[in-house]
Every structure is written in C-alpha cells, then in structure tokens.
Amino acid sequence: MDSMDSPASPRQGPWVGLSLMVEEPYRAAVLPLFEAGEVDVLEWSFDMGWGPAPPPEWVEDLVEFYGDQGRLLGHGVTFSALSAQWTPRQGWWMEQFRRECGRRPYVHVSEHFGFLSAGSFHEGAPLPVPRAGATLQLGQERLQQLSAAARVPIGLENLAFAFGPRDVHDQGAFLDDLLAPVNGFLLLDLHNIYCQMCNFDVPAQELLDRYPLHRVRELHMSGGSWSHPAQGGRPVRRDTHDEAVPDELYELLSVALERCPAVRAVILERLGDTVTAASGEELRHDFRRIRQTVAAAFPASPIAL
C-alpha cells in the first residue's frame, strides 16, 4: 500500500462519503448533503458508466470534482475476479478498467471477492468459491492484473452470501491470502458481516476475529431485506441495499472503527432505484448518523484520508 496506510499519531478519523448512484430520485435525496458540504469522499462504481448511454452530466461533474480534490474512490462490481474461465467479457472489462484508471485519479480501487456470472450486479450477487490452492492462485493472478492496470492500491470486498458455515469461517483468511502478494486492502462491508451473523448465528466479535482487520482501508454501511422461503423455514438476511441501515450496524461500526487501525473511509450504499421522497429522508438520516458515529470515535481528531 502507499504512505497513507500508516496511521497518523494521534490517529485521524476516516472520511464519510456516499456510493454514487445515477437515478434522479437518488440525486434529489443526496443533493442537500452535497450542498451542505457533508460528503467528504465519493465512491464511484465506474463500470456502471460503461454502458451504451453515458451517466448523467451531474454524475460526471461530481466524479470529476471529487477526483480533482483527491477524494475519489473506485469500486468495480462486474469483473468477477474468481471466475475460473477467462471470458471475452472480462477481457473487455479489463481494457475499460485500464482506460478508466488512466483518466481518473482514484485514491484506491476495489472489487468483490467471489465470482459473478451475470454482467450486471443488479441481476445477481457475487457467489463464494472454496478456499483451495487452485482458487487462491487464480485469485492472486487476477489481483496482480488489476494492480498492474490500476497503479493504485487494490482491494477486495467481503461477501454476505455463503453456502454454509465453512464459507463463513474461511472467508477472512482466504481474503488475507489473496491480498498478500499485492499488499492489497480489505473493503469490509459491515452489512455483509451482519447478514452472516443473522444467517449463521455467529457473534459479531467471532466473525471480525476471522478477518485481517489490519488490511481494512474502507468500510461499507448499508441496509438490506429479509427473504422468506416459500416452503417455510427461517428467513434469510440479504444485502439488497434497499432499506435503512439497521440499528445494530452502528454499534458494529463503532467496534470496527476501534479495531481497524488503517481505515480511511466509511461509505453509505443505497441503490438509486430504491429511493423515494420518503426514503430519501431516511437516507440522509443514515448518512448523518454515520457521521456522528465516526465523530464520536475520533472526538479530538480532524477527519482526513
């Protein structure tokens, strides 16, 4: 990683920002936050902008502004780093990624752990892969490709989904092994941790202990939903980014801020097509509560990345 990975003394608090969406209701919901100067940093899922239609002008303006300020984080969602077969779509994605990193000054770039068969993250969530020698080698090679193209720190985001307890138990160590050759960072999604807490009855502390917390450079906060099986059985918590942040996540955020010494940004996620006038107020409330939680964790320190 770069020089920003060594925490200052006294330790400085992370920036608080948004994962930018392109829908008009989302723009209306977050505009008051931008106008008030409350958004310290912006995360842009750049492959959302690679479709046939360019992003709205206001999106381009915001991405350019935060890039000029050195406060732009990149986040990919459709590469599928652990797909066993290299596909033409991945080759196309990598070429677009090289161009993207050449034209925008990202502070760092992250992708998802696991594999994704669909081309759009709206059509399917990344799935886990077993921790084995072959999958580890494959993942390390893919991360080295990303690192060479990006020329900034590269990270992976943990998953909410797991096929069973072994996936839950192995994910943290697997991520550490994948990231080690490129000295990569972990993007720790706290709602994904919450999903595994709920779905597999694992205490938060036990889950966090399994992750390389020294690698955490970014935290994600979001809401989600419950799925109820048609044939009965216990509900399943899903990372759907379509509801308010659960109260339990603010306590988990406080713990993560204490235990992750290299964290530099906390990002609120909400899918743009789930925002209405009512939920827009909810989104702003979540964002400001996150800011308050971060400020309480670093009462004598300015926010800095």
Q: What is the C-alpha separation between 57 and 79, in angstroms, rounded?
A: 25
Give me the pLDDT at residue 54, please. Answer: 92
| DSSP per-residue letters across the chain | --GGGS--SSPPBPEEEEEE---HHHHHHHHHHHHTT---EEEE-GGGGGSSSPPPHHHHHHHHHHHHTT-EEEE-SS--TT-SS--HHHHHHHHHHHHHHHHS--S-EEEESSB--SSSTTT---B-----HHHHHHHHHHHHHHHHHH-S-EEEEPPS--SSHHHHHHHHHHHHHHHGGGT-EEEEEHHHHHHHHHHHT--HHHHHHTS-GGGEEEEEE---EEE--TT-S--EEE--S-SPPPHHHHHHHHHHHHH-TT--EEEE---GGG--HHHHHHHHHHHHHHHHHHHHHSTTS-B--
pLDDT of residue 229: 78
Domains, the chain: 12-70+86-297 (3.20.20.150)
- Tens digit of pLDDT at every position of the chain (305 positions): 443 444 334 568 999 999 999 999 999 999 999 999 999 999 999 999 998 889 999 999 999 999 999 999 999 999 988 888 888 999 999 999 999 999 999 999 999 987 665 444 444 557 667 777 788 999 899 999 999 999 999 999 998 877 778 888 899 999 999 999 999 999 999 999 999 998 889 999 999 999 999 999 999 999 988 888 777 778 878 878 889 999 999 999 999 999 999 999 999 999 999 999 889 999 999 999 999 999 999 986 655 44
